[in-house]
Structure 1
């Protein structure tokens, strides 16, 4: 298990990540809203625009201001 920087020195363990998705589609917006209502939404954007939703194995949804491609590269490199 290695931590992955998802922006602003926030980390997620790489083995806990199930999906990295774009937040602009209607299903993504519904997923974010449901997570917010169920207190499963974590905002790691520090007020910036959300560019990525990270889904974890604990069913939490993490909002990040980093591009999905950048996060996937960081996972691949083991950063």
Structure 2
């Protein structure tokens, strides 16, 4: 399996193969997930002191906070997938 990396802002990079979800931090359940992961020592704050705009949940139960919009992170993830997919033969 090939390792793919995705930029989540400010030079921080995450393994795209480990991402389960990219969500907005506004709802109460997501805020609860953030607090629980902070308590368990599984929170990674990659915001550099800026406002959290995306919460990335990984398959290892780590929660990563990013200052980049969830749509931007998802676009970087999907555009990389499309660039690697070979064009259909005509």
TM-score bracket for this pair, using the shorter chain length: over 0.9
Equivalent residue in structure 2 for 1:62, among 43, 61, 64: 64
- Would you identify which runs of 4 or more consecutive aligned residues in structure 1 move more than 6 Å? none
**Per-residue deviation, residues 15-69 of structure 1 (Å, max 9, x unmatched):** 1000001001000000000000000000000000000000001000000000000
Unaligned runs of 5+ in 2: 82-90
SS at match of 2:52: coil
1:78 aligned counterpart, secondary structure? helix
TM-score, normalised by the number of residues in structure 1: 0.97
Say whether 1:38 aligns with 2:40. yes
* Count of residues in Structure 1 that have an aligned counterpart in Structure 2: 79
Q: CA deviation at 1:2?
A: 1.1
Which one has more relative contact order, counting CA pairs under 8 Å at least 6 apart?
Answer: 1
Q: TM-score, normalised by structure 2?
A: 0.85
Q: Following the alignment from structure 1 to structure 2, what is the Cα–Cα distance between the partners of residues 62 and 33? A: 12
Shift of 1:77: 1.3
1:28 aligned residue: 30
1:14, 1:67 → 2: CA distance?
A: 16
